[in-house]
């Protein structure tokens, strides 16, 4: 069991990710996809749950807060991680984001 408290890990500056864009970061050996939507920033696992492809390379719907895997078209909610379309049937991990003083941070377990 991990008794360590969650920590904030800086990913980038707010200005580094445009609305409607996704960017990949690595934290603790895990790929994190950071997406900026009209409602703010979201962070999810960067790996599609259907096959091992980067979600950061996919299309973003900044209004619906969804990202589409570029390879097979699975659409994921950036809020819940749940797949919205096939072929993916399993959710992806969602991470808490903190935006403070012009920087984007992920709450890392």
User: pLDDT digit string (tens) for 56-96?
Assistant: 999 999 999 999 999 999 999 999 999 999 999 999 999 99
**Omega cis (within 30) before 109:** no
pLDDT-based confidence at residue 37 (cuts at 50, 70, 90): very high
The answer, yes or no, to whether residue 2 has pLDDT greater than 90, is no
CA distance 20 to 22: 7
pLDDT at 24: 98
Global pTM?
Answer: 0.93
Give the DSSP H or E segment for 98. Answer: strand 97-100
Mean pLDDT score, 25-39: 97
CA distance 19 to 6: 27
CA dist list (Å): 109 to 5, 6, 29: 7, 4, 13
Q: Which fold has domain 7-108?
A: Rieske Iron-sulfur Protein (2.102.10)
Mean pLDDT rounded to a whole number for the chain: 96
CA distance 109 to 48: 20
């Amino acid at each position: 069991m991990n008794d360590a408290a969650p920590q904030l890990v800086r990913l980038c500056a707010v200005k580094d990710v445009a609305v409607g864009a996704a960017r990949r970061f690595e934290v603790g050996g895990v790929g994190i996809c950071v997406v900026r939507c009209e409602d703010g920033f979201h962070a999810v696992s960067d790996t599609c749950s259907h096959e091992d492809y980067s979600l950061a390379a996919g299309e973003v719907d900044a209004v619906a807060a969804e990202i589409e895997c570029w390879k097979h078209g699975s659409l994921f909610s950036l809020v819940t991680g749940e797949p919205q379309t096939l072929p993916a049937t399993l959710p992806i991990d969602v991470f808490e984001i903190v935006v403070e003083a012009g920087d984007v941070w992920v709450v890392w377990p």
